[in-house]
């Protein structure tokens, strides 16, 4: 809590600024720049030596019986809305200790801009019911939530085995019927010659981002990326005033397992480039992860829900960029009409291809 120096009410952080403001008397309290800097921590050394000594914070978590999301309970609050789906919840829960975050991105998009971004998003949806724009109501309160993430840096060395495929052209003889007469013709066909390949590749990864929450819909949360992580600031409680901060549910080692999954496509792409040729097959990969470092950070998200025909749909707004992602209804009538309209065109294209091949 940060009491106002003039009226004693609780100050709230103002998105897009470096200050807190009293919502009642308007008094502004600048946030002093942190003396510390945002730094990476050694992953292995931390797990081996520092885990038990690191600063922790204790919070009360509550679980929504409607959507299953977990969130922190604000002080002195006994009931309210789930910040993730808008359902009413009784704020009783369990105490949890967790590592204190070291950095965050402060809220930048104010709530009125987030609501406008939501309305613009609704109007941009393809194959949405015609009445959605008129009937969609954002009934639930727009909640500002700091969501926990891990970032990982590392240097990866991968030994691989596979195959390289090189294309070549061959002449093929075939028979066809033209005007009732059987004719013999030739055509060029592409074939692939495969040979064994093996080698070692290296990849460097910086700030592989892993969401440490199970509460947000992962598909939509990932679609909020990219984040301007170069603008991270050292953690200060002042940035959290007026907002809620979720404790991580994915711990540090589990987060690195997920980070490896995110790194895998880039490693495979590097292997394919190293194999070369026109086609590549990867049979085995053995990766060594070195110089692994991490950060525990908080990223700002506006969360709420809207109602359409008695159905609740959740949506998220990136509170740095205004990007909106969320659940939405579909008009199956529009989709069916689009399919029916496209069918003659597809048939015509297939027919033209078949005629050209004769």
Q: What's the pLDDT score for residue 310?
A: 79
pTM of structure:
0.81
Could you list the pLDDT tens digit for every one of the 358 residues in the chain?
Answer: 788 989 989 999 999 999 999 999 999 999 998 888 899 999 999 998 866 565 556 656 666 766 666 666 555 444 456 666 666 665 555 555 678 899 999 999 999 999 899 888 888 888 888 777 776 665 567 889 999 999 999 999 999 999 999 999 999 999 988 888 999 999 999 999 999 999 999 999 999 999 998 888 889 999 999 999 999 999 999 999 999 888 888 999 999 999 999 999 999 999 999 999 999 999 999 999 999 999 999 999 999 888 788 788 888 999 999 999 988 888 877 888 888 888 888 878 877 777 665 5
> Are the C-beta atoms of residues 20 and 12 closer than 8 Å to each other?
yes
Q: Which residues contact 265 (CB under 8 A, 6 or more apart)?
A: none
Q: For Cα atoms 225, 296, 15, give the angle at the middle one, nearest 5 degrees.
A: 60
Q: What's the pLDDT score for residue 11?
A: 94
Q: What's the pLDDT score for residue 74?
A: 54
Q: 13-47: b or e for each residue (b if 16 or more CB lie within 10 Å)?
A: bbbeeeebbbeeeeeebebeeeeeebebeebeebe
What is d(CA 107, CA 160) in angstroms, rounded to the nearest whole number?
A: 44
Question: Left (φ > 0), alpha (ψ -120 to 50) or beta: where does 76 sit?
Answer: left
What is d(CA 9, CA 18) in angstroms, rounded to the nearest whole number?
A: 19
How do the residues of the chain divide into helix, strand and coil, expressed in percent and rounded to 5? 25, 40, 35
Q: What's the pLDDT score for residue 299?
A: 97
Instruction: Tell the residue number behind the tokens 């720049």, with chain if given.
Output: 33
Q: What's the pLDDT score for residue 79?
A: 44
Q: Which residues contact 93 (CB under 8 A, 6 or more apart)?
A: 60, 61, 62, 63, 73
Torsion of CA 253, 258, 259, 260, to 10 degrees: 100
> Are the C-beta atoms of residues 237 and 298 closer than 8 Å to each other?
no
Q: Residues 42, 47, 48, 49: is their CA dihedral positive or negative?
A: positive
What is d(CA 133, CA 117) in angstroms, rounded to the nearest whole number?
A: 13
Q: Which residues contact 245 (CB under 8 A, 6 or more apart)?
A: 72, 101, 145, 146, 148, 298
Output phi, psi for 352, to 5 deg: -65, -35
Q: What's the pLDDT score for residue 77?
A: 42
Residues in the chain: 358
Biggest CA–CA distance in the chain, Å, is 100
């Amino acid at each position: 809590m940060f009491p106002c120096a003039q009226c004693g009410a609780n100050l709230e952080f103002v998105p897009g600024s470096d200050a807190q403001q009293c919502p009642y008397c308007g008094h502004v309290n600048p946030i002093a720049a942190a003396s510390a800097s945002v730094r990476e921590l050694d992953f292995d050394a931390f797990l081996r030596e520092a885990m038990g000594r690191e600063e922790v914070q204790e919070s009360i978590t509550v679980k929504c019986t409607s959507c299953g999301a977990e969130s922190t309970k604000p002080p002195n609050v006994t009931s309210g809305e789930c910040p993730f789906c808008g359902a009413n919840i009784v704020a009783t829960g369990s105490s949890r200790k967790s590592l204190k975050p070291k950095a965050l991105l402060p809220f930048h998009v104010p709530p009125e801009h987030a609501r406008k971004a939501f309305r613009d998003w609704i109007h941009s949806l393809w194959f949405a019911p015609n009445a959605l724009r008129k009937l969609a109501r954002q009934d639930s309160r727009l909640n500002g939530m700091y969501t926990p993430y891990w970032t990982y840096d590392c240097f990866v060395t991968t030994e691989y085995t596979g195959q390289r495929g090189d294309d070549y052209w061959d002449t093929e003889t075939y028979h066809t019927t033209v005007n009732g007469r059987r004719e013999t013709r030739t055509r060029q066909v592409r074939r692939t010659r495969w040979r064994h390949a093996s080698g070692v590749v290296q990849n460097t990864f910086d700030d592989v981002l892993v969401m440490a929450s199970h509460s947000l819909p992962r598909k939509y949360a990932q679609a909020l990326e990219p984040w301007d992580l170069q603008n991270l600031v050292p953690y200060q409680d002042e940035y959290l005033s007026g907002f809620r901060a979720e404790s991580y549910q994915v711990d540090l080692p589990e987060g690195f397992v997920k980070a490896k999954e995110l790194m895998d496509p880039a490693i495979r792409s590097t292997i394919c480039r190293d194999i070369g040729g026109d086609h590549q097959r990867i049979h085995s990969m053995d990766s060594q992860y070195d110089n692994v470092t991490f950060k525990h950070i908080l990223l700002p998200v506006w969360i709420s829900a809207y109602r359409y025909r008695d159905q609740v749909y959740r949506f998220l707004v990136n509170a740095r960029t205004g990007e909106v992602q969320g659940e939405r209804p579909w008009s199956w009538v529009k989709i069916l009409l689009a399919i029916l309209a496209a069918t003659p065109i597809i048939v015509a294209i297939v027919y033209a291809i078949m005629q050209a091949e004769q």
